[in-house]
């Protein structure tokens, strides 16, 4: 099968369609599953499909890499996944896309659009969508769809199912037609199957939402509000409702499910969601979805500093924004349990140092370093805290400590891909090209892209031999650890 070269993204049947409908896809440009004749959906198949799925995300889609935004979604996702009752891996990604959408892919890959984050009214609503997608995975809806059609004698290859799902990303109606045409299915059977999966994802999603400490009514509230706002305009229906049709019976079932949950005192939500919405808005310089008048003084300070960070400034304008930096320093010092203030403070310090190396930043640097060290101990897997800590150490000339902070993060948690990429960036800034390629190889392994991992580790070895950077042991250990994966990839390359 040909390698995945166009913007393609396999999503689970019944999950939320992604990307815009004007795009096109050729059915022969499918992910490389490792074998063209897969006819059983087993664990190995799911893992292969998951690697191809992830590779397409990493190479073809506009992923949101802001560590604060990514960490926020992952915190919610892993909290919910931890209550799913299954010991399996999940990976969470954020897509820069204004549409109100999310999706679940094979092997526990979950994606959330920035447009969804901007639209929800609470963290519980955002968590409810993520819980629904996690339920699609835990209930094995993709494999069950495949197995159901296999028993009907209407499918000869897993590629048929995959092709139909790929088409459905861009055009849900065309995807359904391809699914039924390729599998000999009739409309009644497919709709029945889809409705059953949606109902089950609602029921299981509300259950794990409640067990994770979120408001179980949030799912019905969110979908009901979207449906009501679009009922008089068929051309403005959010993407999330096109593949999750909301009916009165479905909303009633969701409310009934929430009502039978044991009493739960939902804790007061932090302002994480508000600050994250600000980051999304500031990046694209569009604040129309923010309720600015309702912001507290603390939140206004955060917003003003974000605006300064994303504004192209002269050195004079930057100096004039020092009052905002001092405001943020006060907020970071007073809100020690809210690391988003301190990580933005470090971003602003970095901005000042890069544009005015003579700026007097002794006090903000000292306070930020003290806070970030404390926060690193509290949240050792917080991607934003890890990165900003390393950036601040680098600014103060403590390069080895900075690398160690990242290296510690690369050995644990769920952020290995991002952390290893940052390590590669830091190494390159120090003109250590062999080491940079080594870390890039590590990053690619964690997303299952063994072809690129092979390229980077070979480059690391070549450059190390030329420059004698002294990373022979790291390269040998890498090759030994991933020998089987790399060899399997090499064999596939020969076959192709």
- CA dist., res. 293 & res. 291, Å (int): 6
With 0-12 CB in 10 A as exposed, 13-18 as middle and 19+ as buried, what is 496? exposed
As given in the structure block, the two tokens for residue 78 are 């892993």
Distance separating alpha carbons of residues 478 and 192, to the nearest angstrom: 48
Q: Where are the beta strands (DSSP E) in 1-124?
A: 91-95, 102-105, 109-113
Neighbours of 216 (CB within 10 A): 27
As given in the structure block, the two tokens for residue 190 are: 């497919």
CA atoms of 351 and 201, how far apart (whole Å): 45
CB count, 10 Å around CB of 128?
28
Mean pLDDT score, 84-92: 87
Q: Is 172 exposed, middle or buried (0-12, 13-18, 19+ CB in 10 A)?
A: middle
Q: What are phi and psi of 112, to 5 degrees?
A: -130, 130
Question: Is the pLDDT higher at 193 or at 250?
Answer: 250
> Taking each helix axis from N to C terminus, what angle separates 123-138 and 67-81, rounded to the nearest 10 degrees?
60
The continuous run of DSSP H or E covering 147 comes out as: helix 141-151
Catalytic residue (one of 125, 202, 347, 433): 202
What residues contact 472, with CB distance under 8 A and at least 6 apart?
A: 464
Q: What percent of the chain has pLDDT over 90?
A: 45
Query: Residue 131 pLDDT > 60, yes or no?
Result: yes
pLDDT per residue as tens digits for the range 380-424: 999 999 999 999 999 999 999 999 999 988 776 678 899 999 999
Contacts of 432 (CB under 8 A, 6+ apart): 469
Task: Report the distance separating Cα 176 and Cα 306, nearest Å.
Answer: 43
Residue 16 reports pLDDT greater than 90: no
What is the C-alpha to C-alpha distance for residues 385 and 248, in angstroms, rounded to an integer? Answer: 44
**Maximal C-alpha separation, the chain:** 74
Query: 459 an active-site residue?
Result: no
Residue 260: per-residue pLDDT:
80
d(CA 158, CA 152): 14
pLDDT-above-70 percentage for the chain: 74
Question: ∠ CA 466-429-385 to the nearest 5 degrees?
Answer: 130
Instruction: Give Rg (Cα) of the chain.
Output: 24
Least confident of 196-210, 229-243, 312-326: 229-243
pLDDT at 427 over 60: yes
Q: In angstroms, what CA-CA distances link 345 with 287, 353, 388? A: 21, 12, 9
DSSP 414: T
Confidence of residue 151 (pLDDT cuts 50, 70, 90): low
Query: For the packed helices 218-230 and 187-211, what is the interaxial angle rounded to 10 degrees?
Result: 130
What proportions of the chain, in percent to the nearest 5, are helix, strand and coil? 65, 5, 30
pLDDT at residue number 86? 82
- Which tens digits make up the pLDDT trace of 320-345? 888 999 999 999 999 999 999 999 99
Question: Considering the entire predicted model, what is its pTM?
Answer: 0.84
Residue 34: pLDDT band (50, 70, 90) is: very low
Q: Pick the catalytic residue from 133, 215, 308, 347.
A: 133
449 token code pair: 């892209």
Q: Indicate if 65 belongs to the active site.
A: no
Q: What backbone torsions phi and psi does residue 63 show, to the nearest 5 degrees?
A: -75, 140
Instruction: Give the sign of the dihedral formed by CA 360, CA 362, CA 367, CA 370.
Output: positive
Angle at 289 between CA 120 and CA 114, to 5 degrees: 55
* 255 compared with 117, residue with greater pLDDT: 117
**Would you say how long the chain is, in residues?**
496
């Amino acid at each position: 099968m040909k390698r995945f070269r166009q913007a393609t993204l396999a999503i689970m049947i019944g999950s939320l369609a992604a990307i815009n409908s004007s795009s096109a896809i050729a059915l022969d440009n499918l992910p490389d599953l490792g074998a063209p004749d897969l006819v059983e959906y087993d664990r190995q198949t799911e893992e292969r499909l998951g690697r191809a799925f992830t590779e397409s995300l990493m190479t073809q889609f506009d992923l949101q890499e802001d560590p604060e935004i990514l960490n926020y979604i992952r915190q919610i996702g892993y909290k919910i996944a931890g209550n799913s009752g299954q010991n399996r891996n999940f990976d969470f990604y954020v897509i820069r896309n204004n549409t109100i959408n999310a999706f679940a892919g094979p092997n526990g890959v979950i994606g959330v659009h920035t447009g969804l984050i901007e639209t929800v009214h609470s963290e519980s609503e955002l968590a409810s969508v993520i819980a629904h997608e996690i339920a699609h995975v835990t209930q094995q809806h993709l494999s069950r769809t495949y197995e159901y059609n296999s028993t009907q004698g209407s499918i000869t290859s897993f590629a048929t199912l995959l092709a139909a799902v790929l088409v459905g990303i861009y055009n849900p109606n065309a995807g359904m037609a391809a699914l039924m045409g390729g599998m000999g299915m009739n409309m009644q059977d497919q709709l029945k199957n889809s409705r059953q999966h949606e109902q089950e994802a609602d029921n299981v999603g509300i259950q794990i939402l409640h067990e994770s400490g979120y408001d179980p009514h949030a799912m019905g509230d969110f979908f009901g509000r979207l449906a009501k706002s679009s009922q008089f305009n068929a051309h403005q229906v959010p993407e999330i409702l096109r593949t999750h049709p909301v009916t009165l019976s479905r909303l009633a079932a969701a409310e009934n499910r929430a009502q039978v949950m044991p009493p739960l005192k939902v804790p007061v939500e932090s302002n994480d969601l508000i600050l994250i919405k600000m980051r999304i808005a500031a990046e694209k310089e569009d604040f129309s979805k923010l309720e600015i008048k309702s912001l507290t003084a603390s939140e206004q300070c955060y917003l003003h500093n974000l605006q300064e960070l994303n504004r192209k400034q002269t050195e004079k304008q930057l100096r004039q924004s020092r009052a905002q930096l001092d405001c943020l320093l006060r907020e970071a010092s007073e809100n020690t349990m809210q690391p988003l203030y301190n990580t933005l403070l470090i971003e602003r310090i970095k901005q000042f140092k890069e544009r005015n190396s003579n700026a007097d930043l002794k006090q903000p640097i000292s306070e930020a370093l003290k806070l970030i060290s404390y926060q690193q101990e509290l949240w050792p897997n917080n991607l934003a805290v890890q990165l900003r800590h390393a950036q601040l150490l680098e600014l103060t000339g403590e390069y080895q400590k900075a690398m160690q902070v990242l290296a510690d993060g690369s050995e644990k948690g769920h952020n290995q891909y991002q952390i290893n990429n940052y390590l590669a960036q830091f190494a390159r800034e120090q003109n250590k090209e062999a080491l940079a390629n080594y870390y890039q190889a590590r990053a690619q392994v964690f997303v299952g892209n063994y072809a690129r991992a092979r390229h980077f580790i070979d480059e690391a070895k070549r450059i190390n031999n030329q420059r004698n950077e002294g990373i022979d042991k790291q390269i040998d250990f890498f090759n030994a650890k991933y020998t089987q994966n790399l060899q399997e990839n090499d064999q596939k390359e020969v076959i192709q």
